[in-house]
Amino acid sequence: MLDVAALAALAVTAAGMAWQGWRVTGASLALGARPNATLDIPLALPQAVWAAGLSWFAAVAVLMALAALARLIRGRWAEIGRMAGIDATGGPR
């Protein structure tokens, strides 16, 4: 049960980070922000790559949380442990 709650919290946090990442990218694009460096490219370009990575992380976290929730509803506790839990014994899974 805690594994599912942790995945849900991770998904919400990752989605919030992705949202803010795209907001920062949009603000830099609107301002035409450029770095004070030799490589004079718009800051929105590397920030868009960063925001895309955060979006991918959020998407995977949401899919994992949904998969764990589906297993929780079906009562498949062992599958939740295998996909989202940790091995406290240190042995093979």
Query: Would you say residue 57 lies in a domain?
Result: yes
Q: Which residues contact 25 (CB under 8 A, 6 or more apart)?
A: 44, 47, 48, 50, 51
* Number of domains present in the structure of the chain: 1
- Give the model's confidence band at 91: pLDDT under 50 very low, under 70 low, under 90 confident, else very high: low
Per residue in 30-45, pLDDT (tens digit) is 999 999 989 889 999 9
- Asked if residue 58 is part of any domain, the answer here is yes
Domain enclosing residue 16, as ranges = 2-84
Residue 15: inside a domain, yes or no? yes
Q: Is residue 80 part of a domain?
A: yes
How far apart CA 78 and CA 43 sit, in angstroms, is: 46
pLDDT at 7 over 60: yes
In a domain? residue 10: yes
pLDDT at 90: 63
Residue 4 pLDDT: 92
**Mean pLDDT, range 16-21, rounded to an integer:** 98
